[in-house]
Amino acid sequence: MLMLLRWRDVRAAAKDHTHFDSAQRGRVPTPPENDIRQFRQLPIETNPPEHASWKAIVLPFFRRPMTTAVIPEFQRVVRDHLQTVLMGGDIEVVRGFALPVQSAALAVLLDTDRSIAEVWQGWGLHALRRNGKTDPEKAARFLTFIDDMLDRGRSDPDMGIFAALHDADFEGRPLTRDEMRGICHLALSGGRDTVIHAITGTLAHLAAHPDDLARLRTEPSLIPIAVEELFRVLSPLAMIGRVCPQGHSVGSLGVAPDARAGLCWAAANRDPDIFENPEEVRIDRAPNPHVAFGAGTHTCLGAPMARLVLRTLLSEVVQNVAKLTVVAATPRTSPFGTPYLYESLTLRFARMEVP
């Protein structure tokens, strides 16, 4: 597999749909999923101009984190979970905090029955993978769940996206069942481990750098800039695939016709030609042209939710947490050198003294 690492190459490939094709069932994710599903994930496994029609169907849901009336519900999810953590002692943050926050926020995003978040928590960090590998049993259970939700949505208008897809229109016709499945498959799995990693990594960074926590406390206006830097450094989706239909070469490296290439967002975000001292976390780095959410047509639709969750988290932590201390950690390694990746991470949250 050809791996594109440089910022310029990754961005160029993301915008070149002729040589780097997304419209390939199951061959965009890594590891590939073409053996576990017979439908395309939508809108990601499409190219322009078809892509625009699929994006239009899901956009009302993905815009909810930018909608004034809904923003407080996302913020409440983060605030309430943090308050619960602050009442206890030590907490394993991957499963005990990041996973429940991600699940509850996703239920708000998809505007579905909020209690379903508890079912999602039971799936663990990934809906269809186990130890980084696609698991056919988990994948089948995931698909059964999607079908059950779509069945409920047919008669219950309060099921949010699972109801709306029955009335949706793709270029003048209703959606097929596989198309509905393809939309749900991505919406439920795409932002899962990424958001969990972003939350965990942010807390781990603040535990390791109390100076940054103190600075954000005195300069809260830096929070949105700090969040972008954390997305750059954490690069929660390290890479994604494309298929090169006619083969392709970049510099002296080539890829055979119909073989895959990897767009390595995590490597591009450490390109020293673009980012000065890329390994350093600078919470005031600006400009910060990171590609953690991709580039071009397929730029992440979940980015507004991820940004809102992280900004709220930082804001709540600086107001309520005096100190974060690592009690125990089981780190994971990344081929791209991404820091703060954990299988589990137990933190002690010291509450701010009330004056």
Decide: is 268 part of the binding site for ligand HEM (CB under 6 A).
no
Tell me if 292 contacts ligand HEM by CB under 6 A: yes
Q: Under DSSP, is residue 252 helix (H, G, I), strand (E, B) or coil?
A: coil
The reply to whether omega before 287 is within 30° of 0 (cis) is yes
- Which member of 98, 159, 187, 321 binds ligand HEM (CB under 6 A)? 187
Nearest Cα neighbor of 354 from 329, 319, 323, 308 is 319
Q: Which stretch binds ligand HEM (CB under 6 A): 161-169, 194-202, 253-261, 313-321?
A: 194-202
Cα(164)–Cα(56) distance, integer angstroms: 13
Can residue 191 be called a binding residue for ligand HEM (CB under 6 A)? yes
Q: Does residue number 301 form part of the binding site for ligand HEM (CB under 6 A)?
A: yes
Q: How far is the CB of 99 from ligand HEM (least distance, A)?
A: 13
The residue (of 305 and 317) whose beta carbon lies closer to ligand HEM is: 305
Matching residue, tokens 């137990």: 346
The yes or no reply on residue 104 touching ligand HEM (CB under 6 A) is no
Of 149, 294, 318, 321, the one binding ligand HEM (CB under 6 A) is 294
Sign of the Cα pseudo-torsion (23, 267, 101, 73, in order): negative
Do residues 188 and 146 make contact, with C-beta atoms less than 8 angstroms apart? yes
Measure the CA–CA gap between 76 and 4, rounded to whole angstroms. 39
List beta partners, residue 261. Answer: 2, 242
Q: How many CB atoms lie within 10 A of CB 74?
A: 22
Residue 222 binding ligand HEM, by CB under 6 A: no
Told to check if 198 binds ligand HEM by CB under 6 A, we report yes
255 binds ligand HEM per the rule CB under 6 A: no
Residues at the site binding ligand HEM, with contacts judged by CB under 6 A:
14, 22, 28, 43-44, 55, 106, 109, 186-187, 190-191, 194-195, 198, 236-237, 240, 265, 292-294, 298, 300-302, 305-306
